[in-house]
Every structure is written in structure tokens, then in C-alpha cells.
Amino acid sequence: MDAYIGLDVGTQGMKGVVVDDAGSVLDTAYAPYPTQSPAPGWQEQNPQDWLMAYDEVLQRLMAKHLPVVYRGIGFTGQMHTTVACNANGVPVRPAILWSDTRAAGYGEALEQRYGLDSLVRQTANKPLANFSVLRLLWMKDHEPQHYRTIQRVAVAKDWVRDQVTGTFMADVTDGSGTYLFDVGRRQWNWEWMHTLSIPRQWWADAVESPTVVGDLRRGPQALQHVPVVAGAGDQEASAVGTGLTNEGDLGVSIGTSGVIFWPRSGFSLPPHPSIHAFCHAVPGMWHWMAVTQSAALSLRWYRDTFAPTLSYRDLDQLAASSAAGSHGLLFFPYLQGERAPLMNAHAQGTLMGLRPEHRASDIVRAILEGVVFSLFHAWLMMKPAQKKSLERMVATGGGAQSTLWMQILADVFQIPVTVVDDPGAAVGAAWLARRAISGDVKELSLRVRKVVEPSQNQGVYAERFHAYRSMAMNLNGLWGKETVQG
């Protein structure tokens, strides 16, 4: 039996999977590693810990002695995490994680110097603190002793792949997240690098995700010289794993944050700067992506603060005892500021419309509704450029386990919601390896748990969303600098 390995250099640990030719997961392994926070807002990891986790994961996978022939290995991992290295690929300092906020002011400085419109034309995106180049600009100012020794720069999964294959390569998805990439042309933006005085020789050639870039040189004997594929960032690899590869699809993930993922068959600049535009892992495809900061985090905050003895199932049942519209309550899930579409770090979580007759059930339901309203608000920023109607919405994440949350999602978006088991980014990476080795472009089969049809509450939610959107934009002006109207 042919099999493929997917490795995910995640934020908290390394995950490995073995996937057969039909897409079934035969085995999994996981090894954690620590994160350091040497200052408020700083998040760092030691890349050597990734290598030790890699060794442990492969040893565990090989210990099962599965009756398979390993045909290829694919990589994925945390996007934007930045590894600055010397000429031998040795990190000159700990890796700066995607979640690190030390470079936030550099995005604002770029906007002031070049203008947001000009930056979007260069990179297709608004500069945010997590983009790799902003960390390099920070290092130039604050750690010149390290900056002067840089000869190579890579994101997490590319650095690990480089170490275990001896090749120095990049892929177009993670390239999109460096803020040095011409996303439309799927290549490095050398002119923009020159403008920022970033040496072009620091960056490896960028190839499409399902491309063989070398063979394995570090690992168990059974895997020696197995072809290794470039792979993709975790968002794009996850999209491969959930079949989000067609423009008629819309992916919605309700995890700690909420993500809208829309595959695009051609490149165009997003109509709103809160929308990210990246290369997809599928050659010739792009995607637009929007993020609401506090999705399931909002529900977790409520439970931990006011109902620590209740399970999420209990909260779901409690919310179901309220009516659509939560008897007039509106919740704005801006507990950590908001990205799409407000783009306001000063935005604050708000519960509006409280009266003495409201009960806990109304508040919990308002939280579920507010998260969906926020996602729909972001979707409307994409929709003006939509060329055809959606054919399918695919829902994943912890929130997808809530029947009520999925019903609200179907009612607000007014489209059936297909709830699927998310196999994870590592499975998507393995499937990209299969595509590269076999040449077969078929999609991974989805494991559908249920399909939720819109209900008679569509009209109620259309009215409530109109109130939500109007109030969100009014509130935005009260929370400090109002960057973009939605």
C-alpha cells in the first residue's frame, strides 16, 4: 500500500500523520515544544526544539511498522513565524512567532510612508505585525548585532524542511505571508525588497506547493531518500484537507478566532484592506481570507467568567431555550480588538440592549449570533467582487460541534452549511505530497457529519444583522483611531 507522511510544525508542537492513497489516516504522532515570552507581547521558540520534535514524531510513526511503502513527505506549519539564519542555516536568534506583536508599529510606519493603497498594490495586503518582513525591520533597529549576520530567512516549516533535506526552498503560500511577495505573479517582489533594503539573496526560490524539492536525509532508515514536497502554510494545507479548492466554496472555521476562506480561480486585489489575499496551495488558485479575532474565545470567556461549571453542550442547550434574535440583545465579539472588517485594535467587546427581563440564555445566544454576525460582516467585504453565487459552505472548528451555532450560520448566510471533520493541516500536507508524486489532482474525500439547511429565522437575522452592522460602525468611532469603514 502506498502511503504519504504529512508533518505540521504547529504553534504548540509537531504533528505527523500517515495517509494512504485513499486519504485515510493510518497513524498519527505528536510531540510538543515550549514557547518563550521574554517580554510582553513577545512570542519565541527555539528552532532546535522543532528538530527534536521532528525526530520524535518520525520515530513514533515508524515504530508501528505499518505495511506500507512511503512515497512522499509533505510539510506545513505556522505561517509568518520568522527564522533568521547565517549562511549555514543556523538561527542567529530564536524564531519570532506569528503571534508576536513587537513589530506592530512598523506596519503603521509603512502605511504612513508609502500609503495603504500603494502597499496593497505591492503585496495585495495591509501590513500587519505578524508579517515576516516587519520582524526583520524590527531586528534591524533593535538587534543590529543579529541583523548584520543574517544570510538566510525562512518560515518555520521551510527551515525544518531545509534542515532535513539539505535544500533551501520556499513555497508560494508562505511566501505570500512574508510581505515581500508579488501574490498575483506568484513570485518574490524583488523591487519591493530593494525599496526596503532587504537583500534578495536571503530568500530561497519559491515554488508551487505540490513540488518535489529534495529527498529526506535526516530520519529513520525506512524514510531515507523518500521525496520531500515543498508543502504549504497551515491555512492553505487545511483548505486542501477540507476540499476548499473551488471558487464556489466558502470555508468558515469557528475556533478561538473565526476564519473565512474563499478560494479564487484568478487573482484580483481584495475590495477591502481587512481581507488577506494569498496564493493557494493549488497551482493557479488564490484565496481571500478574513479573520474575526474572538470567535469561540467569546464563548469560552463567558463560560470561564460566569458559568465555569457548565459544559459547552450545556451552554448550547441554554442558548437554544432563547429565541432567534436573543430578545433584542446584540453582542459585538471584539474582546481582543477586531481585524475584519473594523481593523481597529481598540475595539471592545460589547453587549447592547440589556433589560431586566433578559436571562443567561439570551446572553449566550447573543454571543453565538454576534460571532456569526461578525463573520458575515467580513464576508460582505468580499462579496462585492463575487463573480458567481456560492455553491457550498464548509464549516470546521470547535464551534462546528454546536448544532445551534451551525443553524445560526446557515440562517445568517442564507446557505446550507456542510459540517465536516477537519483532518488538519498535516493531512493536507500529505495529500499535497501525494499530488506531487503521483500526478493525481483529485480532491481529498470529505467526511461530512451533517448538512444544516437555513430555517424560517432567516428574516429575523437579516433584520438583526442590519442593526448589528449599523451599530458596529457607530461604535467603531468611539474606540480610538478609526482606520477603515466597513
| pLDDT bucket at 129, cuts 50 / 70 / 90 | confident
| pLDDT bucket at 128, cuts 50 / 70 / 90 | confident
Instruction: Please report, rounded to a whole number, the percentage of residues in the chain having pLDDT higher than 90.
Output: 88
| pLDDT bucket at 485, cuts 50 / 70 / 90 | very low
pTM for the structure as a whole = 0.92
Mean pLDDT of 142-161: 98
| pLDDT bucket at 343, cuts 50 / 70 / 90 | confident
What mean pLDDT is reported for the chain?
94
pLDDT tens digit sequence for 202-241: 999 999 999 999 999 999 999 999 999 999 999 999 999 9
HEC assignment per residue over the chain: CEEEEEEEECCCEEEEEEEECCCCEEEEEEEECCCECCCCCCCEECHHHHHHHHHHHHHHHHHCCCCCEEEEEEEEECCCCEEEECCCCCECCCEECCCCCCCHHHHHHHHHHHCHHHHHHHHCCCCCCCCHHHHHHHHHHHCHHHHCCCCEEEEHHHHHHHHHHCCCEEEHHHHHCCCCEECCCCEECHHHHHHHCCCHHHCCEEECCCCEEEECCCCCHHHCCCEEEEEEEHHHHHHHHCCCCCCCEEEEEECCCEEEEEEECCCCCCCCCCCEEEECCCCCCEEEEEEECCCHHHHHHHHHHHCCCCCHHHHHHHHHCCCCCHHHCEEECCECEECCCCCECCCCCEEECCCCCCCHHHHHHHHHHHHHHHHHHHHHHHHHHCCCCCCEEEEECHHHHCHHHHHHHHHHHCCCEEEECCCCHHHHHHHHHHHHHHCCCCCCCCCEEEEECCCCCHHHHHHHHHHHHHHHHHHHCCCCCCCCCC
Mean pLDDT of 395-406: 95
Q: Which domains does the chain have, with CATH numbers?
A: 2-236 (3.30.420.40), 243-422+456-486 (3.30.420.40)
Residue 484: predicted pLDDT: 43
Mean pLDDT of 127-151: 95
Does the pLDDT value for residue 451 go beyond 60?
Answer: yes
Mean pLDDT of 16-29: 96
